[in-house]
């Protein structure tokens, strides 16, 4: 119940849905009640909110604070001494990121861009931590294989040994994933891999659950030098996606803190 309530409360605040709902209300008032002035205000607000959310500079500013919270783990050569906090990790946890169902694509190509980036980072770290388990996560109902199963098969195709992979098929959201990690490894230190913009919330939920994650960001949406500025007059769907993810994460953090989970 709480899972669907959270979804229902979040969607109206995401930029595209917010603009469509506001514009829809404006059109309804314009034609059904002839309240022209209010309708004009709503339509104008819908247009401006979508315009702002689609702006390159605004969207970069919104998501930069999330993506810069934790530094990425650099490349290490095999045999090179690892940082102590990384060397002591007993598991590598890759949080779910979505995939396509019912296709004939290879397991790698079924993964979304976010899931593929997260898994690639996890596989990279399995080379550096040969004794660590690779924990993959994600539910997908009962009709199709779980997301965790697709991640497992993709990891196998990339050369990860079968005995190293542990699935969390039951997890539907990040809070479920934190609880699933606790059940499987207790308080042992582990690497936590997810998209850079999602990592602050995931880390907060894990730490609140008494876990000891080493945050490892992947799937960056901002890959340019931070000194470069985004064009204030640039508008595109990529910017809208950045704004949507940033707003979704801030709402998720607010919801988790409201419930004492982060």
Q: Where are the domains of the chain?
A: 2-67+236-258, 84-218
**Tally of CB atoms within 10 A around 140:** 18
**Angle of CA points 252, 258, 262, to nearest 5°:** 65
Cα–Cα distance for residue pair 114/97, rounded to 1 Å: 6
Please tell me the total number of residues recorded for the chain in this structure. 262
Please, are residues 17 and 11 in contact by the beta-carbon 8 Å criterion? yes
Q: Which residues contact 111 (CB under 8 A, 6 or more apart)?
A: 97, 98, 99, 119, 150, 151, 154
Cα–Cα distance for residue pair 223/219, rounded to 1 Å: 9
The b/e string for 110-119 (b: 16+ C-beta within 10 A; e otherwise) is bbeebbbbbb
Cα–Cα distance for residue pair 95/49, rounded to 1 Å: 31
> Could you tell me which of 27, 66, 18 has the C-alpha nearest to residue 197?
66
The CATH number of 84-218 is 3.40.50.620
**What strand order describes the sheet that includes 133-137?**
165-168, 133-137, 91-94, 190-195, 213-218
Q: Say what the pLDDT of residue 238 is.
A: 93
Beta partners for residue 190, in sequence order: 91, 213
Cα–Cα distance for residue pair 248/242, rounded to 1 Å: 10
Q: Say what the pLDDT of residue 234 is.
A: 85
Kindly list the averaged pLDDT for each block of 10 residues, start to end, along the chain of length 262: 66 93 93 85 96 94 94 88 95 95 91 97 96 93 86 97 95 91 95 97 95 97 64 86 96 86 70
Give the up-direction half-sphere exposure of residue 10: CA atoms within 13 A in the CB hemisphere: 19
Q: Say what the pLDDT of residue 184 is.
A: 95
């Amino acid at each position: 119940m709480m899972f669907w309530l959270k979804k229902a409360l979040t969607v109206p605040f995401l930029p595209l849905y917010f603009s469509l709902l506001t514009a829809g209300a404006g059109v309804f008032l314009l034609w059904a009640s002839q309240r022209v002035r209010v309708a004009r205000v709503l339509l104008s607000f819908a247009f401006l909110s979508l315009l702002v959310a689609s702006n390159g500079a605004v969207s970069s500013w919104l998501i930069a604070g999330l993506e810069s919270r934790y530094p990425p783990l650099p490349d290490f050569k095999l045999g090179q001494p690892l940082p102590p906090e990384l060397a002591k990790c007993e598991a590598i946890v890759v949080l779910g990121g979505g995939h396509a169902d019912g296709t004939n694509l290879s397991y790698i190509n079924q993964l979304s861009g976010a899931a593929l980036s997260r898994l690639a980072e996890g596989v990279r770290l399995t080379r550096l931590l040969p004794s660590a388990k690779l924990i993959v996560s994600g539910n997908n109902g009962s009709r199709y294989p779980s997301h965790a199963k697709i991640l497992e098969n993709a990891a196998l195709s990339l050369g990860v040994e079968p005995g190293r992979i542990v699935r969390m098929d039951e997890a539907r959201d990040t809070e479920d994933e934190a609880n699933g990690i606790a059940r499987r490894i207790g308080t042992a230190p582990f690497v936590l891999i997810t998209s850079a913009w999602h990592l602050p919330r995931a880390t907060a939920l894990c730490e609140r659950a008494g876990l000891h994650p080493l945050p490892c960001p992947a799937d960056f949406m901002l890959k340019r030098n931070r000194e470069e500025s985004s064009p204030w007059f640039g508008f595109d769907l990529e910017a809208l996606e950045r704004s949507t993810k940033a707003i979704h994460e801030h709402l998720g953090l607010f919801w988790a803190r409201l419930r004492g989970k982060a």
